Amino acid sequence: MAKLSRDDVLYLAQLARLDLSDGEVGSLLEELPQILEYVEKLQEVDTNGLKPTNQVTGLENVMRTDSTINYGYEAKDLLENVPEVRDDQIKVRRMV
């Protein structure tokens, strides 16, 4: 495994848009090679014949189906109660 230089860590931080202090760069100089070494070990594991595991709980679709409820009101009647309407929708101030 190639040793990472300080410039390598700073370049990775720039790609990730991270502002690192000198202490953090020093810490990553020690930690990143260990992480990469562990990833290399994982690459050696034989996974042939294994099915991908997307979720482990056994749950299937737990969402309800969409349905509309008629409360007996028409949209145009409800829009009469709002201060400003445009194209059958409530007009509000722009929010950023």
pLDDT tier for residue 25 given thresholds of 50, 70 and 90: very high
Q: What per-residue confidence (pLDDT) applies to 3?
A: 82
Q: What is the pLDDT of residues 69-87, one digit of tens each?
A: 889 988 888 898 899 999 9
The structural domains of the chain, with segments of one domain joined by +, span 6-43
Q: Tell me which of 61 and 82 has the higher pLDDT.
A: 82
Report the greatest alpha carbon distance in the chain.
71
- For 6-43, CATH gives 1.10.20
Q: What per-residue confidence (pLDDT) applies to 1?
A: 61
Residue 9 CB coordination number (10 Å):
20
The DSSP letter of residue 85 is E
